[in-house]
């Protein structure tokens, strides 16, 4: 929340930004600063109360513009300080080429590919991937969450960040970032605004504002000859005041702060945007790709039932299901082992008991896992389509009862896994179906309905078969789904959407998600995921919550709406300034212009000064709105435009009439002005 104390604390930074080398990056406010310098010189040579009053408020206008940006940047400094503490000088125990000898070196000397060992109680010396071991890691310095997380070799939870602390066990880490280019280094630069680049829309608006400034500058310069001709020559102080009031100073002052605040709002939601372009793209997204498990559903799918095939006993199916799940460390795999033990009385065997067995891990390409046992027997468990294809490849036949069971589980919204085996020299056979149950998160249908009102199409991505995917999609209320999705399928879907002129957002955490994350216009990588995923995406969710993609889109839209609303207000409030200044400048010569003095301003000098004062104060008044953002309500573009024009267009016209009149009542009491 922006308070008076916050504004006062940012004043020193705002004053430092008065450096012309800094101001020149903002053409509108640079013109105001040049005008303030010129007015100051004129006031020194020909001093009076009016001249010095105008000079003071011109400098205040420049200072207030810098204040908006300084406050926005200051909100990120606290987090940057916390992150710097996480970068405390640490040493690294670097392993030699033989993998045994340790060499203690400063963390800053680590290079790409170096391998280090980290024990309990030690800080991770640099960004990397765990290549050996499993450990509990404290990431509170980055995420703000005190609960430790598990990091382990292999899979999608292998990435560790420099500056985090290992709480238990021992891990071996391969360094994946150069010194000064670590995740924390990038976070510090981004939250402080040092690495913020202007977005395409922001650049386009800056060009428009600069063009308007040039137009009004030419109009002001050419106005003096007409004034001289009509016998109403104006002082340069008045012309400078006119120029400053005519150019779009309000949005020119707040534009940078709006962009910084948009990224800061993401940081408050524990999302790190690698560029302002990503935040802006989030506001224009047309298609959301959402993983089913953990995003739309609770994600804790549990084995609930075993359905044996004809001629197969329940005990035989349970035994095969347990065997094929011993090396499966996923929650689903562990739940199958538990179900076989509790419901069918099977002893929970450890993978170490099968020393000569070869375990086949699950991959996104094969979509199944299993074990090859002594004697040539092979057992497989996985997605129905993949396992049934494996059965046919091994000369087996699939009975109609298995297909019926698969369809029944899928139609009910569950996930069917098929278990099959093949013996040495024999044909493969499908042993039965495992039912996995998942639950759609509460409120998801309402969230997707909001997305639909915003004009956003939602697509659920899942590895489930089409029947299961359709049942979950219908229950959740998404617009479409992609079933049995492989990494290649995700890429193809994103490209199809983009070829239709749509912007696509998606989340991912694994190495196999990296190509799709890189292709998407908004790629949100999970902090718990692999280094490849985080490098490919343009946002990182520090909480690793896939559902947050919906909030990211809303924050992006709020940024665009805030920028549009304040631009509308800025241009609209210039109308009132015309009615204040133009009649005041020429009413003495052209009496008819007095009828345009609808505000009944006291004198020409008080009218001009009141307009300059309002022009400065309105910037301060709008800083909290620029930082907080205009409230976003899900609605169509037409409804948002009508509301924008009604509130900020009409308000931008009415507010200056009231504000300038109130200020005139005060300044007209000042001797030499009233």
Q: What is the DSSP letter of 364?
A: T
User: For residue 28, with 0-12 CB atoms within 10 Å meaning exposed, 13-18 middle and 19 or more buried, which class applies?
Assistant: buried
State yes or no: is 291 an active-site residue. yes
Distance CA 361, CA 340 (A): 20
> Measured in Å, how far apart are the chain's first and last C-alpha atoms?
38
584 is in an annotated binding site: no
Specify which residues 459 forms β-bridges with. 289, 480
**Cα 408 off chain centre by:** 40
Which pair of tokens denotes residue 247?
Answer: 């150019």
Our CA angle for 530, 75, 643, nearest 5°, is: 95
E strand residue ranges, 42-185: 91-95, 102-106, 115-119, 128-132, 134-138, 149-152, 159-160, 165-166, 170-175
366 is in an annotated binding site: yes
Look at strands 358-360 and 368-372 and give their pairing: antiparallel
Find the radius of gyration of the CA atoms of the chain: 33
Which pair of tokens denotes residue 196?
Answer: 């913020």
Q: Which of 114, 127, 185, 291 is catalytic?
A: 291
Distance CA 87, CA 185 (A): 9
Per DSSP, the three-state class of 75 is coil
Distance CA 175, CA 76 (A): 28
372 is in an annotated binding site: no
Number of helical H runs and strand E runs in the chain: 24, 22
Q: Which residues have C-beta within 8 Å of that of residue 449, sequence separation ≥ 6?
A: 477
Look at strands 170-175 and 115-119 and give their pairing: antiparallel
Closest listed residue to residue 208, CA positions, set 527, 452, 567:
567
368 is in an annotated binding site: yes
Helices 27-45, 249-268: axis angle to 10 degrees equals 130
Q: Which residues have C-beta within 8 Å of that of residue 150, sequence separation ≥ 6?
A: 134, 135, 136, 137, 157
Which pair of tokens denotes residue 281?
Answer: 């793209």
362 is in an annotated binding site: yes
367 is in an annotated binding site: yes
48 is in an annotated binding site: no
111 is in an annotated binding site: no
365 is in an annotated binding site: yes
Specify which residues 288 forms β-bridges with. 458, 505
Specify which residues 541 forms β-bridges with. 271, 526
Sole residue written with tokens 């057992």: 379
Do you know the residue count of the chain? 674
Our CA angle for 151, 153, 157, nearest 5°, is: 45
Our CA angle for 467, 472, 475, nearest 5°, is: 125
369 is in an annotated binding site: yes
How far lies 183's CA from each of 142, 187, 273, 450, 569, in Å?
A: 10, 6, 12, 34, 39
As a whole number of angstroms, the longest Cα–Cα distance in the chain is 111
Distance CA 492, CA 487 (A): 9
364 is in an annotated binding site: yes
Per DSSP, the three-state class of 247 is coil
Distance CA 273, CA 196 (A): 10
User: For residue 316, with 0-12 CB atoms within 10 Å meaning exposed, 13-18 middle and 19 or more buried, which class applies?
Assistant: middle
E strand or H helix at 539? strand 539-541
By the 8 A CB rule, do 130 and 151 touch?
Answer: yes
Provide the annotated binding site for Mg(2+): 509, 513
Provide the annotated binding site for ATP: 328, 332, 362-369, 381
Looking at the annotation, which residues are catalytic? 291
Provide the annotated binding site: 328, 332, 362-369, 381, 509, 513
């Amino acid at each position: 929340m922006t308070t008076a104390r916050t504004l006062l604390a940012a004043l020193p930074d705002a004053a430092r930004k008065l450096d012309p080398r800094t101001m020149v990056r903002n053409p509108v406010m640079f013109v105001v600063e040049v005008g303030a310098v010129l007015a100051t010189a004129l006031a020194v040579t020909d001093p009076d109360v009016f001249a010095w009053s105008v000079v003071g408020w011109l400098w205040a206008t420049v200072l207030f513009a810098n204040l908006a940006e300084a406050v926005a940047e200051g909100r990120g400094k606290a987090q940057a300080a916390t992150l710097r503490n996480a970068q405390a000088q640490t040493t690294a125990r670097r392993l030699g080429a033989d993998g045994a000898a340790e060499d203690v070196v400063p963390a800053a000397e680590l290079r790409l590919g170096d391998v280090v060992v980290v024990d309990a109680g030690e800080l991770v010396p640099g960004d990397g991937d765990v290549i050996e071991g499993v450990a509990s890691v404290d990431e509170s310095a980055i995420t703000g969450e005190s609960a430790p997380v598990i990091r382990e070799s292999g899979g999608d939870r292998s990435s560790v960040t420099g500056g985090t602390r290992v709480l238990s066990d021992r891990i071996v880490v391969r360094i994946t970032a150069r010194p000064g280019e670590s995740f924390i280094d990038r976070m510090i630069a981004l939250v402080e605004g040092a690495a913020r680049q202007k977005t395409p829309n922001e650049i386009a608006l800056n060009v428009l504002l600069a063009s308007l400034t040039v137009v009004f500058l030419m109009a002001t310069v050419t106005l003096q000859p007409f004034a001289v001709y009509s016998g109403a020559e104006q002082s340069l102080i008045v012309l400078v005041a006119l120029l400053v009031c005519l150019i779009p100073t309000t949005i020119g002052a707040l534009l940078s702060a709006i962009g910084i605040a948009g990224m800061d709002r993401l940081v408050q939601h524990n999302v790190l945007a690698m560029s302002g372009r990503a935040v802006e793209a989030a506001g224009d997204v047309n298609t959301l790709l959402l993983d089913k498990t953990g995003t739309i559903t609770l994600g804790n799918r549990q084995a609930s039932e075993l359905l044996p095939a004809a001629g197969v006993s329940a005990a035989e199916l349970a035994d095969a299901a347990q065997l094929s799940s011993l090396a499966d460390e996923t929650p689903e795999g562990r739940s199958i082992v538990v179900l076989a033990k509790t419901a069918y009385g099977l002893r929970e065997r450890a993978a170490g008991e099968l020393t000569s067995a070869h375990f086949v891990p699950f991959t996104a390409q094969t979509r199944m896992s299993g074990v090859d046992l002594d004697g040539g027997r092979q057992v497989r468990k996985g997605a129905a389509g993949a396992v049934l294809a494996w059965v046919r490849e091994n000369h087996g036949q699939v009975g109609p009862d298995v297909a019926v069971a698969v369809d029944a589980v899928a139609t009910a919204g569950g996930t069917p896994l098929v278990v099959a085996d093949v013996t040495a020299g024999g044909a493969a056979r499908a042993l039965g179906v495992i039912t996995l149950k998942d639950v759609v998160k509460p409120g998801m249908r309402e969230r997707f309905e909001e997305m639909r009102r915003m004009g956003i199409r939602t697509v659920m991505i899942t590895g489930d078969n089409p029947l299961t995917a359709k049942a979950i999609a219908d229950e959740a209320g998404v617009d479409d789904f992609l079933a049995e999705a492989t990494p290649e399928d995700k890429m193809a879907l994103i490209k199809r959407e983009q070829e239709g002129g749509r912007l696509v957002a998606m989340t991912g955490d694994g190495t196999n998600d990296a190509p799709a994350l890189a292709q998407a216009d908004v790629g949100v990588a999970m902090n718990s995921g692999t280094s490849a995923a985080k490098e490919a995406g343009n946002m990182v969710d520090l909480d690793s919550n896939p559902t947050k993609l919906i909030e990211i889109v809303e924050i992006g839209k709020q940024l665009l709406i805030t920028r549009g609303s304040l631009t509308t207000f800025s241009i609209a409030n210039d109308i009132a300034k015309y009615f204040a200044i133009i009649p005041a400048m020429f009413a003495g010569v052209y009496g008819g212009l007095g009828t345009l003095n609808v505000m009944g301003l006291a004198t020409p000098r008080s009218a001009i000064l009141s307009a300059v004062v309002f022009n400065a104060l309105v910037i301060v008044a709008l800083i909290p709105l620029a930082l907080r953002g205009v409230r976003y309500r899900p609605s169509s573009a037409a409804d948002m435009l009508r509301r924008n024009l009604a509130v900020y267009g009409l308000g931008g016209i009415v507010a200056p009439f009231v504000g300038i009149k109130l200020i005139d009542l005060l300044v007209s009491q000042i001797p030499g002005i009233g």
